[in-house]
């Protein structure tokens, strides 16, 4: 592939930014520009010396159907698709009097911003599905060995910079790169349309589709230094880094879980998290108290952790946080004084995070062979979901602790066991391959840090056997909450009755792997 | 939207299957069919009474550029895009003598199968990027209020069944559904092309793109019963269910990890896994011994687990497996006798799984706000990667155990601590929020099941402090393998020297969250 000189361009753009860069380039290089209505007028207003040929004049066909059909014409597409090193192609286009086109500058109707508008009609969305534009982009990108295609105004300067120092010629590498960007654009656009058609039926698709993804940034690496990592947009929360070093792949994974858990509660909450699992969660009437309670749950694990709050961070809390090494603090707001304190530690990352009104609906994870897609576990158990299964009822205050502990268990890897007291976790059993071990770990962790408390216990899945109830009775557990649903529920309830431990079922399971 | 009668169709298909269904329908309903070369001939061969009009005759333009430009013509696209309830549209197309088109039957050049061919050239791939086809499909799908579009031969019967009982008219619901399927097709196709352009640079995309995904099936539910779940293709391994009940979302997640771990080894291996983490892994010269060793590691957790092998399952192993309740057995092959035994348990799921030659390169997980994409952790640590950091060297046999344990740690959630002896795990510490607790758990689990052994210890991440080395010395740990890289490495090495425990660094971390 060789360098190709630019003599003739088609320009048809919805987004008219940076067009001045091209306008001057066109004039200086005496390039003939085929264009349509709005774009044509705009170009002339930028530089009235541009040699513009109206597309309908060029094709000798009028625009029809209110502009629905303008560029879908063989004279346009043979000009774009002809191979310049193919003599037969050149003879054919000469015969129909089509000059070859060297540069295609097209961007599309703004389907994405239109379908996201509040109260937008189906008709308006459909009207913004561009047909002519993607066709020209795709034809030009297919024929990148002969044609340059620009689909993003941000690339105009790069293009002009190259041709200006190369006697108005462009390299094959650049043409291929712009073709790649062009197909990135059309595939993203097409993914949006396909997903829009499916948005109301709760399914990703009937047979196949594509998920449109927009890159935010490369990450320094993935989960481990020998893995590459890249971050893409998915939800619509407002996420701003206020200070500190670059976020890693694992930082992002951790802080997202921490913040989501913090937001499950309306009272001031604090979550401390490490390696994807909370090591301390607490609620209190103010934030600094919540932080101290969460920290007390497991001071060893809290070292270097992610700390998330559901309310704005105050100076008082900031001072407490600064007493130990914390990697990330995340909250919907920070007082300016708190920022002053926290940014004293130059490695500490501060993130302001405001949740979107609508929760993210989908969750995706890949395995080696499959993509597992599910609706996100957005269920929050409430008092009305609870069914008391034992003769002994939990006391009023206990019920708050039970619900609190069960909500925390949703964010702890299965098998999860959460011990809580006074709206604070006091022992968390994480990710064990059997539930009894998880309970043993939670209790032993609690005993290390707390004396003489009577915690409640939450389990993310049902108890398969009564053994955990027996363990609870030996360790002052005051009430138990779990989904229920085991074939041994009868035994489990009997054991709870026998040991006089109130047992509550939720009928909701919160496995998280 | 009302029912629309079908009078005129465009048919242009690469995949000619099931066309006979449409051929007969066209004749019976006296439908005029616009078509091109190959499709036209094929239709005539199916039923020579079809009223076929050649597209170049219809447009009065010759096909040009070896067929690159056939249907990219205003007469075709105004026929497809005209709104039939819009008097101005009707006047305009009448003026240019274009009759409205009611049905568009198009499928595309087989880009997917072509770019996957071994040794295929770039030119051949590019030649198979269809331009005219997607344009007709997209125009028809955009105008679904007036036009029906069929892009998948499997939908012909459904279409004909509806029009046959409705006096050759089709409902608006069906038109919209077929439009949705059409955009699913074009978005998948476009995603393939975009990813093909990026396949060699190790990046998903420069700015944005879409990930082409193909649905395999709906799952009964997601990770929990209140979540919807769907399974999509991602890798290319051969996966066949031989018997047993339907796989759940969590089953699939678990068996994929189990099988991948089993395949990390060349000796016969067995992995038993629960809730995403292995609870027993062993190698031996034959499979039934490997199974018994893996089972012995943690008999409690093994109950109801996933059992994976890297070699074909024999009858002898099948009989051993049948002694306890197992949910899934997965292996590259099963002897017919083993299938006979294992299928005696009607709920037991048997999966034959043959790994693809090329490992899956990408891994994806979503958080609430982001999509985290990374290259998969396909690194397998070998002897040459190890650096001995202590005066005391590990014995020859110990090195095999060290590497074995470190490979297992890659599949255990962080913080992971794996104790191994004689190529078998003897204690696994899983997913703790601090590494010391993980080590304590692994050791206490080992002590429960094994007496008087001197295991090696692997850690998926570095030791932040020397405390775990001290713990090892008190518990007969004979050697330690870990990535290294802590600022306290000096203290850790000193402690290992002092306690005469050989310590090996890998420089490779295997976090998995």
Per-residue pLDDT tens over the stretch B378-409 = 999 999 999 999 999 999 999 999 999 999 99
Strands (DSSP E) contained in A191-245 are 208-219, 229-233, 238-243
- Out of A198, A233, A261, pick the residue that ends a domain: A198
- How far A49 CA sits from the closest chain B CA (Å)? 31
- Judged by CB atoms closer than 8 Å, whether chains meet at B215 and A226 is answered as no
pLDDT at residue B201 in the model: 63
A209 occurs within a structural domain? no
Q: What share of chain B is helix, strand, coil (3-state, %, to 5)?
A: 40, 25, 40
Give the three-state DSSP class for B253: helix
Rounded CA-CA distance B451/B466 in Å is 25
- Band (pLDDT 50/70/90 cuts) for residue B37 is confident
Residue from A84, A142, A177, A296 carrying the catalytic annotation: A142
CB proximity list for B164: less than 8 A, separation 6 or greater: B25
| B497 and B453 share one domain | yes
- Judged by CB atoms closer than 8 Å, whether chains meet at A194 and B179 is answered as no
- Band (pLDDT 50/70/90 cuts) for residue B200 is low
How many domains does the structure of chain B reveal?
Answer: 3
- How far B28 CA sits from the closest chain A CA (Å)? 30
pLDDT, one tens digit per residue, over B82-96 is 998 899 999 988 988
Rounded CA-CA distance B361/A276 in Å is 23
| Residue B226 is a catalytic residue | no
- Residues of chain A positioned with their CB less than 8 A from the CB of B364: 364-366, 371
* Range B331-360 average pLDDT: 93
- Band (pLDDT 50/70/90 cuts) for residue B341 is very high
- Judged by CB atoms closer than 8 Å, whether chains meet at A204 and B213 is answered as yes
A512 occurs within a structural domain? no
pLDDT at residue B64 in the model: 81
- Residues of chain B positioned with their CB less than 8 A from the CB of A88: 66
- Judged by CB atoms closer than 8 Å, whether chains meet at B274 and A434 is answered as yes
Q: Contact A331/A311 with Cβ under 8 angstroms?
A: yes
Q: How far is CA B135 from the centre of its chain?
A: 29
- Residues of chain B positioned with their CB less than 8 A from the CB of A374: 222-223, 227-230, 249
- Judged by CB atoms closer than 8 Å, whether chains meet at B370 and A232 is answered as yes
B373 occurs within a structural domain? no
- Residues of chain B positioned with their CB less than 8 A from the CB of A373: 229-232
- Judged by CB atoms closer than 8 Å, whether chains meet at A215 and B204 is answered as yes
Phi, psi of B115, rounded to the nearest 5 degrees = -70, -15
Rounded CA-CA distance A190/A212 in Å is 8
- Judged by CB atoms closer than 8 Å, whether chains meet at B231 and A197 is answered as no
| A150 and A22 share one domain | yes
B377 occurs within a structural domain? no
| A271 and A399 share one domain | no
- Band (pLDDT 50/70/90 cuts) for residue A5 is confident
* Range A55-79 average pLDDT: 87
| A495 and A406 share one domain | yes
| B340 and B285 share one domain | yes
H/E stretch holding B257: helix B249-262
- Judged by CB atoms closer than 8 Å, whether chains meet at B371 and A364 is answered as yes
| A46 and A192 share one domain | yes
pLDDT, one tens digit per residue, over A363-401 is 999 999 999 999 999 999 999 999 999 999 999 999 999
- Band (pLDDT 50/70/90 cuts) for residue A202 is low
DSSP bridge partners of A373:
A364, B230
| Residue A142 is a catalytic residue | yes
- Residues of chain A positioned with their CB less than 8 A from the CB of B354: none
- Judged by CB atoms closer than 8 Å, whether chains meet at B207 and A152 is answered as yes
- How far B224 CA sits from the closest chain A CA (Å)? 6
By Cβ distance, the residue of A180, A414, A430 closest to B433 is A430
| B189 and B229 share one domain | no
Q: Minimum mean pLDDT among A23-27, A220-224, B33-37: which range?
A: B33-37
- Residues of chain A positioned with their CB less than 8 A from the CB of B417: none
Please say if the pLDDT value at position B476 is more than 80.
yes
- Residues of chain B positioned with their CB less than 8 A from the CB of A227: 374-377
- Band (pLDDT 50/70/90 cuts) for residue B374 is very high
| B160 and B65 share one domain | yes
- Residues of chain A positioned with their CB less than 8 A from the CB of B59: 74
Shortest CA distance to B479 belongs to which of B464, B459, B457?
Answer: B457
Residue of A nearest to B461 (CA): A224
Mean of the per-residue pLDDT values of chain B? 94
Strands (DSSP E) contained in A326-462 are 326-331, 349-354, 362-366, 370-375, 387-388, 417-421, 424-429, 456-459
Q: What share of chain A is helix, strand, coil (3-state, %, to 5)?
A: 40, 25, 40
Shortest CA distance to B309 belongs to which of B247, B260, B246, B254?
Answer: B260
Residue of B nearest to A181 (CA): B206
- Judged by CB atoms closer than 8 Å, whether chains meet at A364 and B365 is answered as yes
Please say if the pLDDT value at position B202 is more than 70.
no
By Cβ distance, the residue of B69, B145, B431 closest to A413 is B431
| A383 and A500 share one domain | yes
Residue with token string 């014995």 = B395
The reply to whether ipTM tops 0.85 is yes
Rounded CA-CA distance A430/A463 in Å is 15
Here the CATH number for the domain that contains residue B431 is 3.40.140.20
- Judged by CB atoms closer than 8 Å, whether chains meet at B509 and A187 is answered as no
Residue from B7, B275, B299, B345 carrying the catalytic annotation: B275
* Tokens representing residue B285 in the block: 């010269």
Helical residues (DSSP H) of A97-131, grouped into ranges: 111-115, 122-127
Distance in angstroms between the alpha carbons of the first and the last residue of chain A = 50
* Tokens representing residue A506 in the block: 């939720």
- Judged by CB atoms closer than 8 Å, whether chains meet at B379 and A226 is answered as yes
Q: Could you write out the three-class secondary structure of B416-432?
A: CEEEEECCEEEEEECCC
- Out of B167, B198, B229, pick the residue that ends a domain: B198
Please say if the pLDDT value at position A1 is more than 60.
no
DSSP bridge partners of B273:
B278, B306
Residue from A16, A84, A275, A447 carrying the catalytic annotation: A275
pLDDT, one tens digit per residue, over A321-356 is 999 999 999 999 999 999 999 999 989 999 999 988
Using only C-alpha atoms, chain B has a radius of gyration, in whole angstroms, of: 31
| A192 and A236 share one domain | no
| A316 and A398 share one domain | no
By Cβ distance, the residue of B179, B223, B237 closest to A512 is B223
- Out of B166, B198, B230, pick the residue that ends a domain: B198
- Band (pLDDT 50/70/90 cuts) for residue A412 is very high
DSSP bridge partners of A11:
A35, A105
Residue from B142, B296, B299, B379 carrying the catalytic annotation: B142
A462 occurs within a structural domain? yes
B447 occurs within a structural domain? yes
* Range A484-509 average pLDDT: 98
Interface test with A, best of B223, B249, B258, B486 (most A CBs within 10 A): B223
Mean of the per-residue pLDDT values of chain A? 94
* Range A131-138 average pLDDT: 97
pLDDT, one tens digit per residue, over B52-65 is 999 988 888 877 88
By Cβ distance, the residue of B66, B142, B369 closest to A239 is B369
Range of the domain at B91: 4-198
Distance in angstroms between the alpha carbons of the first and the last residue of chain B = 50
* Range A455-466 average pLDDT: 97
pLDDT at residue B198 in the model: 86
Could you tell me the CA-to-CA distances from A34 to A59, A71, A84, A145 in Å, in that order?
10, 10, 19, 21
- How far B27 CA sits from the closest chain A CA (Å)? 30
Here the CATH number for the domain that contains residue B149 is 3.40.50.1380
B362 occurs within a structural domain? no
pLDDT, one tens digit per residue, over B145-164 is 999 999 999 999 999 999 99
A165 occurs within a structural domain? yes
Instruction: Label residue A272 left, alpha or beta by phi (over 0 means left) and psi (-120 to 50 means alpha).
Output: beta
Q: Would you call the peptide bond into A414 cis, given omega within 30 degrees of 0 as the criterion?
A: no
| B407 and B497 share one domain | yes
């Amino acid at each position: 592939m060789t360098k190709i000189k630019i003599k003739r361009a088609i320009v048809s753009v919805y987004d008219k930014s940076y067009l001045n860069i091209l306008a001057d380039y066109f004039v200086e290089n005496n390039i003939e520009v085929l264009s349509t209505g709005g774009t044509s007028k705009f170009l002339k207003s930028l530089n009235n010396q541009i040699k513009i040929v109206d597309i309908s004049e060029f094709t000798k066909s009028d625009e029809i159907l209110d502009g629905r059909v303008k560029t879908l014409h063989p004279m346009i597409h043979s000009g774009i698709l002809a191979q310049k090193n193919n003599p037969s192609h050149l003879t054919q286009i000469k015969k129909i009097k089509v000059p070859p086109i060297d540069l295609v500058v097209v961007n599309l109707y703004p389907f994405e911003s239109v379908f996201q508008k509040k109260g937008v009609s189906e008709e308006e969305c459909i009207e913004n599905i561009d047909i002519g534009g993607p066709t020209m982009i795709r034809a030009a990108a297919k024929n990148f060995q002969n044609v340059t295609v620009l689909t993003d105004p941000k690339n105009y300067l790069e293009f002009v910079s190259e041709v200006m120092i190369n006697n108005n010629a462009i390299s094959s590498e650049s043409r291929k790169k712009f073709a790649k960007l062009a197909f990135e654009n059309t595939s993203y656009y097409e993914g949006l349309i396909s997903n829009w058609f499916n948005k109301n039926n709760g399914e990703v698709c009937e047979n196949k589709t594509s998920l449109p993804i927009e890159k935010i940034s490369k990450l320094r690496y993935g989960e481990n230094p020998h893995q590459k990592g890249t971050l893409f947009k998915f939800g619509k929360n407002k996420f701003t880094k206020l200070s500190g070093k670059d976020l890693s792949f694992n930082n992002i994974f951790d802080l997202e879980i921490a913040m989501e858990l913090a937001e499950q509660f309306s009272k001031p909450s604090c979550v401390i998290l490490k390696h994807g699992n909370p090591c301390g969660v607490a609620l209190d009437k103010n934030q600094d108290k919540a932080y101290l309670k969460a920290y007390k749950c497991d001071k060893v694990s809290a070292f270097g952790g992610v700390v998330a709050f559901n309310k704005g961070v105050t100076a008082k809390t900031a001072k407490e946080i600064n007493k130990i090494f914390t990697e990330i603090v995340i909250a919907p707001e920070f007082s300016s004084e708190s920022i002053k304190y926290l940014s004293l530690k130059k490695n500490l990352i501060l993130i302001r995070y405001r949740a979107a009104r609508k929760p993210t609906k989908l969750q995706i994870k890949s395995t080696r062979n499959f993509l597992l897609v599910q609706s996100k576990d957005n269920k929050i158990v409430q008092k009305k979901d609870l069914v008391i299964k034992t003769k002994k009822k939990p006391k009023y205050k206990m019920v708050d602790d039970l619900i609190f502990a069960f909500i925390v268990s949703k964010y702890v890897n299965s098998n999860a066991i959460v011990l809580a007291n006074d709206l604070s976790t006091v022992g968390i059993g994480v990710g064990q391959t059997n539930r009894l071990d998880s309970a043993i770990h939670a209790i032993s962790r609690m005993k290390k840090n707390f004396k003489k408390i009577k915690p409640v216990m939450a389990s993310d899945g049902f108890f398969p056997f009564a053994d955990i109830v027996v363990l609870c009775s030996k360790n002052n557990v005051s009430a138990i909450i779990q989904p229920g649903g085991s074939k041994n529920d009868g035994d489990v309830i009997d054991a709870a009755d026998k040991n006089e431990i109130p047992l509550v079922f939720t009928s909701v399971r919160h496995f998280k792997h």
